[in-house]
């Protein structure tokens, strides 16, 4: 008997016309890791919530068919009953964290099962170690970084020792090494017993990391299952067609095949790609590839204006003794798109909050200047006209009833004339593809539209500099491209952009420069191509470059450069060698 069965299952949320899930029929055995793939709004979260009973008991609606977990019909159980068998880690960890210490939060679930104290402590220690939170036991969860909070939510789920562990976009806020660590943890959990099942949902941003770990792929599109099969389905072009996208190595080899190169199979993991690339080169008798004359010129060189942000010797100590920033010095020039990257807790968000005046230096000789003005000495109403901050979690920023009211709030508070406000709001709504949603209730928006709204809401103030924390969080591959294209549009209109992100593909394609932070210090600062060509330096900060860059670095002995930034760049490089004489 399958661990999970869905029989003709459909669900429509109350107040919605379209079904979130339609006629789902699935059987899933234990002892595996399943990737639940689909764009934002495809029905992934709805399916996961259905397994534990959040649907229909919390999120109400029209429920048809059967959902059976561990032999139990979910709609006939309570959520408490199902929590003994199913754990869920939601996309936003803050909604699952409520205790005053990390230890207490991890212990909350087992304690509510009525387990003996000795068993609770055993589970807490196990979960904390697996989630790499050792040393954080007495920390207040509110003082953790976003990624650390996500690790805490996962630890809380692991402590329940579930038969089914479900994770909704679990690595979205983690650094690249952290993504691998968490996915290795859940893979280990699935392997620890033949009947343990792990389900990981993914919308595309971290498709490479998920593809490395799963055994089975179930793809949802508009509430229906359109794929169900082995891991090799990650190479199927349908993932591009529906807007999820494929792993970078899959896209590369698919492009080579379309160009006439005899590719045996489309790889989905980095190891598979290295092996297939060596085979291709060996068949052609190519010991070392040659760089084309135009290599590295895929991006037009840009010239930037005056220094617009200046930070010197910035320290920040959180009480009682957490030294979050240790003498930071950096600058940003007008017209740049700068990416700030680093492991969770490295100080990225603390630095950002200094730039917009939400925090003040804890050393008197620090310099934090924007457009030549000292930010610590300024009123926030003045600061937000020069530089404005978009929070990592849109729910921390959005509070108005409708989309239009949210975008209009800032200019109204600044006493802008009504007609000017209307024009500015309309412009922001069009730039971030929110047209048609003006009257939508903000709290019921899907996560992708909330992310667009968070940035759109600060545009009417026309800040010279936008500082955006994780601009693509909650977005699928298509949504991330729309977001970054919109940000490029803002740069073209005269804005300077600073983004904080864990998505290295985004940094490689869009950022002119990268600042790498590690334990409160800047350990690298330079053009993106230069920084990503130094994997050993990046590893100091728990960072790995994009998968396509790693492919070149793994093949350095065959002449591949260490600084390939995009799939297109690698494909051009290979076609120059595999099909010489052709453009």
3-class secondary structure for 325-389?
EEEEEEEEECCCEEEEEECCCCCHHHHHHHHCCCCCCCCCCCEEEECCEEHHHCCHHHHHHHEEE
Exposed, middle or buried by CB within 10 Å (0-12, 13-18, 19+), for 437?
A: middle
Q: Is residue 316 part of a domain?
A: yes
What is the pTM assigned to this prediction?
0.89
Q: Identify the three-state secondary structure at position 130.
A: helix
Q: Are residues 95 and 38 in the same domain?
A: yes
| String of DSSP letters for 10-49 | EEEETT-SS-SEEEEEEEE-SSEEEEEE--TTSSHHHHHH
Q: State residue 582's pLDDT score.
A: 57
What phi, psi does 497 have (nearest 5°)? Answer: -120, 130
User: Any idea how long the chain is?
Assistant: 583
Angle between helices 447-456 and 403-413 (to 10 degrees): 20
Q: Identify the three-state secondary structure at position 499.
A: strand
Q: Considering only CA atoms, which of 282, 208, 275 is closest in space to residue 548?
A: 208
Domain boundary among the residues 209, 235, 261 is at 235
Q: Considering only CA atoms, which of 338, 345, 381, 493 is closest in space to residue 428?
A: 493
Is the CB of residue 120 less than 8 Å from the CB of residue 68?
no
User: Which alpha helices (H) appear in 220-315, and where do they start and end?
Assistant: 238-241, 248-258, 270-283
Q: Are residues 520 and 552 in the same domain?
A: no
Q: Is residue 521 part of a domain?
A: yes
Domain residue limits at 259: 250-298+547-578
Q: Which helix (H) or strand (E) holds 228?
A: strand 224-230
Q: State residue 408's pLDDT score.
A: 94
Question: Which residue's entry shows tokens 């109350």?
Answer: 14
Q: State residue 45's pLDDT score.
A: 93
Q: Considering only CA atoms, which of 37, 82, 34 is closest in space to residue 56?
A: 82
Q: Is residue 542 part of a domain?
A: no
Q: Is residue 242 part of a domain?
A: no
Query: Tell me, what DSSP letter sits at residue 204?
Result: S
d(CA 223, CA 219): 10
Q: Are residues 398 and 375 in the same domain?
A: yes
Peptide bond into 320 cis (omega under 30): yes
Q: Are residues 375 and 515 in the same domain?
A: yes
Q: Are residues 52 and 90 in the same domain?
A: yes
Q: Considering only CA atoms, which of 457, 461, 496, 499 is closest in space to residue 381?
A: 461
Q: Is residue 341 part of a domain?
A: yes
For residue 535, give Cα distances in angstroms to 66, 172, 506, 546, 547. Answer: 49, 22, 17, 11, 12
Q: Are residues 200 and 326 in the same domain?
A: no
Q: Are residues 196 and 262 in the same domain?
A: no
Two structure tokens written together for 95: 């909604």
Q: Are residues 285 and 337 in the same domain?
A: no
Q: Is residue 146 part of a domain?
A: yes
Question: The domain spanning residue 148 has which CATH number?
Answer: 3.40.50.300
Is the CB of residue 572 less than 8 Å from the CB of residue 548?
no
Domain count, the chain: 3
d(CA 431, CA 429): 6
Two structure tokens written together for 548: 């396509």
d(CA 95, CA 77): 23
Q: State residue 94's pLDDT score.
A: 80
Is the CB of residue 399 less than 8 Å from the CB of residue 390?
no
Query: How far from each other are the two terminal CA atoms of the chain, in whole angstroms?
Result: 56
Strand ranges across the sheet with 465-469: 387-390, 465-469, 496-500, 337-342, 513-518, 521-527
Q: Are residues 256 and 315 in the same domain?
A: no
Query: Tell me, what DSSP letter sits at residue 67?
Result: E
Q: How far is CA 386 from the centre of its chain?
A: 28
Q: Are residues 393 and 277 in the same domain?
A: no
d(CA 409, CA 544): 40
Query: Tell me, what DSSP letter sits at residue 94?
Result: G
Q: Is residue 527 part of a domain?
A: yes
Domain boundary among the residues 203, 235, 267 is at 235
Walk along the chain (583 residues) in steps of 10 and give the mean pLDDT of each run. 93 92 95 92 94 94 96 94 92 84 95 93 92 90 80 91 90 76 73 76 92 94 96 95 96 95 93 95 94 74 89 94 95 97 90 95 96 94 91 86 94 89 93 92 86 90 92 85 91 94 93 96 96 94 94 97 96 90 56
Reduced 3-state DSSP string for 399-450: CCCEHHHHHHHHHHHCCCCHHHHHHHHHHHHHHCCCCCCCCCEHHHCCHHHH
Q: Are residues 311 and 290 in the same domain?
A: no
Q: State residue 475's pLDDT score.
A: 83
Q: Are residues 327 and 288 in the same domain?
A: no
d(CA 155, CA 388): 34
Q: Is residue 289 part of a domain?
A: yes
């Amino acid at each position: 008997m399958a661990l999970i069965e869905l029989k003709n299952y459909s669900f429509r949320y109350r107040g919605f016309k379209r079904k979130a899930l339609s006629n789902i029929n699935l059987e899933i055995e234990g002892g595996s890791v399943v990737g639940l793939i689909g764009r934002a709004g495809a029905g992934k979260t709805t399916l996961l919530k259905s397994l534990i009973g959040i649907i229909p008991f919390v999120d109400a609606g029209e429920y048809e068919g059967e959902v059976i977990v561990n032999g139990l019909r979910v709609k006939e159980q309570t959520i408490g009953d199902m929590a003994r068998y199913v754990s869920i880690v939601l996309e936003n960890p803050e909604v699952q964290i409520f205790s005053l210490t990390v230890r207490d939060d991890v212990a909350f679930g087992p304690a509510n099962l009525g387990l003996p104290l000795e068993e609770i402590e055993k589970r807490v220690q196990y979960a904390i170690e697996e989630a790499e939170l050792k040393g954080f036991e007495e920390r207040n969860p509110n003082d953790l970084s976003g990624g650390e909070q996500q690790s805490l939510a996962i630890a809380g789920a692991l402590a329940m020792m579930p038969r089914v562990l479900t994770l909704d976009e679990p690595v979205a806020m983690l650094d690249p090494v952290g993504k691998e660590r968490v996915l290795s943890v859940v893979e280990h959990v699935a392997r620890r017993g033949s009947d343990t099942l792990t389900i990981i949902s993914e919308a595309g941003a971290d498709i490479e990391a998920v593809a490395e770990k799963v055994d089975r792929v179930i793809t949802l599109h508009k509430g229906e299952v359109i794929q169900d099969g082995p891991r090799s389905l990650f190479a199927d072009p349908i993932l591009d067609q529906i807007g999820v996208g494929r792993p970078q190595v899959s896209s590369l080899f698919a492009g080579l095949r379309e160009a006439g190169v005899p590719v045996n199979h489309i790889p989905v993991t980095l190891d598979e790609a290295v092996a297939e690339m060596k085979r291709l080169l060996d068949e052609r008798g190519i010991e070392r590839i040659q760089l084309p004359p135009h290599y590295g010129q895929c991006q037009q060189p840009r010239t930037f204006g005056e220094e617009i942000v200046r930070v010197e010797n910035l320290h920040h100590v959180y009480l009682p003794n957490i030294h979050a920033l240790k003498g930071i010095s950096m600058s940003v020039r007008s017209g740049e798109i700068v990416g700030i990257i680093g492991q969770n807790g490295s100080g990225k968000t603390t630095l950002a909050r200094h730039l917009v005046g939400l925090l003040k230096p804890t050393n008197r000789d620090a310099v934090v200047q924007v457009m030549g003005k000292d930010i610590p000495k300024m009123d926030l109403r003045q600061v937000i006209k020069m530089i404005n901050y978009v929070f990592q979690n849109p729910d921390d920023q959005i509070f108005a009833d409708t989309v239009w009211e949210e975008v209009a709030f800032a200019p109204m508070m600044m006493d802008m004339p009504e007609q000017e406000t209307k024009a500015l709001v309309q412009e922001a709504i069009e730039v971030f593809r929110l047209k048609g949603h003006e009257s939508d209730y903000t709290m019921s928006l899907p996560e992708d539209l909330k992310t667009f709204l968070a940035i759109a809401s600060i545009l009417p103030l026309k800040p010279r500099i936008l500082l955006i924390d994780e601009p693509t969080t909650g977005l699928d591959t298509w949504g991330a491209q729309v977001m970054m294209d919109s940000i490029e549009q803002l740069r073209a209109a005269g804005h300077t952009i600073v983004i904080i992100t864990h998505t290295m593909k985004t940094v490689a394609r869009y950022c002119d420069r990268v600042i790498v932070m590690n334990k409160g210090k800047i350990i690298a600062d330079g053009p993106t191509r230069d920084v990503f060509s130094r994997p050993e330096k990046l590893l100091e900060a728990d960072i790995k470059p994009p998968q396509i860059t790693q492919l070149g670095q793994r093949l350095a002995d065959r002449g591949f450069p260490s600084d390939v930034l995009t799939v297109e760049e690698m494909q051009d490089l290979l076609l120059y060698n595999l099909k010489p004489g052709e453009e």
